[in-house]
Amino acid sequence: MTQMTPIQFQETDLDALATATGRVAILVTPEGELNPPARRANKLTRGAVTRLLESDRFAKAQSGQVITLAWPSGMVAEALDVLVLKKRSSAVEARRAGAVLGKLKGKAALLVAAGSYSRADELAMGIALRNYSFDAHKTGGDSDETPGPVTLSHNRHERIEASAAPLLAVAEGTIMTRDLVNEPANVLTTTEFASRLEEMTALGLKVEVLEEDKLAELGMRTLLCVGQGSDSPSKVVVMEWNGGEEGAAPLALVGKGVVFDTGGISLKPAGGMEDMTMDMGGAGVVAGTMRALALRKAKANVVGLVGLVENMPSGNATRPGDVVTSMKGDTVEIINTDAEGRLVLCDVMWYAQERFNPAGMVDLATLTGAMIIALGHDRAGAFSNDDGFCEAFLRAAEVEGEGAWRLPLGKSYDNLLKSRIADMKNVGGRPAGSITAAQFLQRFVKDDVPWIHLDIAGVASIKSDTDMAPKGATGWGVAALSRLVEDKFES
């Protein structure tokens, strides 16, 4: 796993500004108010900060923007980063401002002189999230360079360090998710994925791997039919975090883990198929969330279940027209083998309910291309059978700055799944493709279980930088789910 940028916290030391190497960051309000560290930096640079504040460039600056003074006179640092930031900024604004510093940091050392800024803990999280790069398979060059440290100085550094700890736990879980989603499929096989999850027993998670023979015994035939064309064995991994009251029903998180998706016999076009290494994004988010909960010692019972398969064409692969019986007992006519994620999820969701009788269930999947058409890359699609549960998640996502939008369910969409020869088809045609996928999954949700389906096809991995991440895997969802657990399930 990529090592998260370590951040150390220390008492404000104005004298350290002169001798700090790498980059030094100071905070200035949009009105041009200087705190003591900024005033010291201004003195060291013989008024350079004041001259900046009087410039047209500063007049046009927005809160959250950084203006860099290169090789500032009177300081050892190679750059003085002037962060324009409102005193009463929101948590998301502070986090995004920290991300700007994290992006600028690169491999250099960074000293952030935050003074008495109240959301310095969120600054730290933003730095950790954005100062990330996936270099596991690069050789030579910058990838072998040891990154410089990050030091955040604050007038009440012990309080900020304490409040930053759970935020940095979420950041570490997010980075785990990014690493999993970024990994190529020849590295992150189903076996390797399961192995990485088993390593989290060191954090206090209980981890169990269900192999193919056990899955067959349980009747998970829809999940197994997806992976039967691959040499990689299908698996289900169960991760339990028991931090709440003994015997209290857990929240169940269920993730689609298709480590590579060719489409099977319904083969995808060659162009862009390399991106299908990210089709395990839902399982990646579940894994990262479980890591975050364990690291921050969440006072809740949460179980994470991921179905790990590879969808490949072969002489043993499932064919269009085949009929498969789910663990629940419903029969499914396979119309398109590229609509495989719902076949994985439905068995794992049913198993989660049968074994754990959860207080609520959230499934996550890079499920449909139709979701990208509907919402682009800014928001995940949310579907639910419970208004209160869904609203709690949407609030959590908004607080954490992770976009999500609720879409409808309904019988008219359900009718599109009718099959002539089985209980249902696995696709309902082109119209409302994301909704019919959710309707399919809803058939495997018990009446008394609050449930949310999150289609993260557009947000799991994107081809341009975001505020919080470089292009590639985003880690979307770890922060929102951790917040949901804190708001609704922690005792």
Side chain identity, residue 392: A
Count Cβ atoms below 10 Å from residue 72 Cβ, excluding itself. Answer: 20
Please choose, from the candidates 181, 199, 377, the residue with its C-alpha nearest in 3D space to the C-alpha of residue 282.
181
The number of residues making up the chain comes to: 491
User: How many angstroms separate the CA atoms of 58 and 32, rounded?
Assistant: 9
Choice among 96, 296, 342, 379 that is catalytic = 342
Helix (H) or strand (E) holding 164: helix 157-182
Catalytic site includes residue 60: no
Please choose, from the candidates 475, 487, 379, 484, the residue with its C-alpha nearest in 3D space to the C-alpha of residue 177.
475
For tokens 């689609």, the residue is 256
274 token code pair: 């390399």
User: How many angstroms separate the CA atoms of 136 and 354, rounded?
Assistant: 39
User: How many angstroms separate the CA atoms of 176 and 478, rounded?
Assistant: 10
107 token code pair: 């491999």
- Say if CB 130 and CB 103 are below 8 A apart: yes
For tokens 């730095």, the residue is 127
- Say if CB 68 and CB 104 are below 8 A apart: yes
111 token code pair: 């000293």
User: How many angstroms separate the CA atoms of 38 and 16, rounded?
Assistant: 13
Count Cβ atoms below 10 Å from residue 17 Cβ, excluding itself. Answer: 26
User: How many angstroms separate the CA atoms of 244 and 276, rounded?
Assistant: 37
Choice among 268, 299, 395, 406 that is catalytic = 268
Active site residues: 268, 342
